């Protein structure tokens, strides 16, 4: 494999190399996408060996004083410019300790250090940030491997990506579908649910949470009914339970629900969501490469949605009666409507109806043929067409 060069490296450089006194930087993203490997590679490329400290809280014993000792070693060594701590969530009260030491560095610049924190439990880290570090940090968001990255580093074609893509650790097992499925189910999904969600959130039935994920993961780019999903679960509850589960899956970088586009905010928020899986592997692990063209079309649509979300757009879908548009968002003060087409025939009825209601909207097709160009640079793709 080539050396990892992922999308967050340039941001690390802008904030932690170019800026003199940056805020605490916190790198968040899904498990098993190369955050640690890429960060260490970036540090070695931008700092001399004696000017940065890279430590993992795996070795801390969970004790907050480990951070204080690490910090003291760093500030007493005049060569050290940056302290990088991985798996920070494994230390009890880590955010309070970081806050105390960071504030000390703000009062006395001789004790100032550039700080980068990362870890594998995003929900737990986010909780610590909101509790203690308000106003002291910036987030850097890492993402699942998109098609462009997978194609560049693994020479993966689009069909293979739509069946197996997103988690690079699983790529060596693609030729063994059952082994690949077990890796995704055991090393990714069960770990995220068991460690990232259940250790942080109040979930009465872990088995029900897992069952809900398996149901939702089989519905990429589908509009769902809360009541219908609830009816498939082997337990009683109400629709608020499904909404709560979706919030947990979103915070863990598994699923992003998007809602109906409307100028009426109340109507938008009360609509049934469309399910966007943030990685094709999450839609396909139970299929083991046995995907028909219809399902593959939904996976492609979900990938387009994930790409737009990663590009920073507030994403919606649109439906009025039998007419629908896959994705709607605002860009440069314009409404953009995107239809994803996996077949050769393009049905423009939904876009035509949407244009009647929003005549100034720009309409775009994304297809198998132009998806490579789209996914490589979403903003550049839009600029060419708008």
User: Could you tell me which residues come within 8 angstroms of residue 69 by beta carbon, excluding any fewer than 6 positions away?
Assistant: none
**pLDDT confidence of residue 267:** 55
Q: What is the mean pLDDT of each run of 10 residues along the chain (386 residues)?
A: 64 95 95 93 95 94 94 93 95 94 91 92 85 92 94 92 96 95 96 92 93 96 94 82 95 96 66 94 88 93 97 95 95 94 75 95 95 94 91
**pLDDT confidence of residue 378:** 95
User: Rounded to an integer, what distance in angstroms lies between the CA atom of residue 255 and that of residue 275?
Assistant: 7
Is pTM, for the whole model, over 0.85? yes
**pLDDT confidence of residue 121:** 76
**pLDDT confidence of residue 3:** 47
- Residue-range domain boundaries for the chain: 9-141, 147-385
CATH topology of domain 9-141: Rossmann fold (3.40.50)
| CB-based contact 283:247 (threshold 8 Å) | no
Angstrom distances, CA of residue 344 to CA of 280, 330, 367: 22, 27, 9
**pLDDT confidence of residue 269:** 58
DSSP symbol at 56: E
Nearest Cα residue to 243 out of 261, 229, 264: 229
Helix (H, G, I), strand (E, B) or coil at 287: coil
**pLDDT confidence of residue 59:** 86
| CB-based contact 76:114 (threshold 8 Å) | no
Nearest Cα residue to 29 out of 149, 134, 173: 149
Pairing of strands 114-118, 255-260: unpaired
User: Rounded to an integer, what distance in angstroms lies between the CA atom of residue 103 and that of residue 93?
Assistant: 16
Half-sphere exposure (Cβ direction) of 102: Cα atoms closer than 13 Å: 22
Half-sphere exposure (Cβ direction) of 234: Cα atoms closer than 13 Å: 7
User: Rounded to an integer, what distance in angstroms lies between the CA atom of residue 296 and that of residue 163?
Assistant: 8
User: Rounded to an integer, what distance in angstroms lies between the CA atom of residue 151 and that of residue 162?
Assistant: 12
């Amino acid at each position: 494999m080539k050396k990892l060069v992922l999308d967050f490296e340039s941001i690390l450089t802008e904030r932690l190399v170019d800026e003199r006194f940056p805020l605490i930087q916190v790198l968040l993203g899904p498990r098993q996408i190369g955050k640690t490997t890429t960060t260490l590679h970036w540090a070695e490329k931008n700092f001399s060996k004696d000017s940065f400290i890279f430590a993992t809280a795996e070795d801390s014993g969970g004790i907050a004083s480990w951070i204080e000792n690490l910090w003291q070693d760093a500030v007493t060594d005049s060569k050290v410019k940056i302290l990088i701590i991985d798996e920070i969530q494994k230390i009890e009260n880590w955010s309070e300790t970081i806050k105390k030491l960071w504030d000390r560095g703000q009062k006395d610049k001789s004790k100032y250090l550039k700080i980068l924190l990362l870890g594998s439990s995003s929900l737990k880290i986010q909780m610590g940030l909101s509790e203690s570090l308000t106003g002291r940090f910036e987030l850097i968001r890492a993402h699942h491997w998109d098609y462009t990255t997978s194609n560049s580093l693994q020479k993966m074609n689009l069909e293979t990506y739509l069946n197996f893509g997103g988690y690079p650790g699983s790529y060596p097992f693609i030729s063994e579908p059952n082994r690949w499925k077990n890796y995704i189910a055991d090393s990714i999904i069960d770990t995220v649910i068991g460690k990232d969600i259940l250790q942080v959130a109040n979930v009465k039935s872990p088995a029900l949470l897992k069952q809900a994920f398996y149901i939702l993961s089989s519905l990429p780019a589908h509009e769902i009914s809360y009541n219908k999903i609830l009816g498939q679960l082997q337990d009683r509850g109400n629709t608020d339970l499904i909404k709560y589960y979706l919030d947990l899956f979103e915070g863990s970088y598994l699923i992003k629900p998007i809602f109906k586009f409307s100028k009426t905010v109340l109507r938008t928020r009360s609509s049934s969501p469309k399910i966007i899986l943030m990685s094709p592997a999450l839609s396909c692990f139970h299929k083991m490469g046995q995907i028909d063209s219809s399902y593959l079309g939904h996976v492609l649509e979900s990938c387009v949605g994930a790409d737009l979300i990663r590009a920073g757009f507030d994403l919606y879908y649109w439906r009025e009666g039998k007419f629908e548009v896959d994705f709607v968002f605002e860009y440069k003060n314009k409404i953009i409507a995107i239809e994803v087409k996996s077949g050769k025939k393009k049905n423009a009825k939904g876009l035509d109806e949407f244009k009647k209601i929003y005549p100034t909207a720009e309409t775009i097709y994304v297809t198998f043929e132009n998806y490579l160009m789209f996914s490589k640079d979403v903003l550049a793709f839009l600029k060419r067409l708008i």
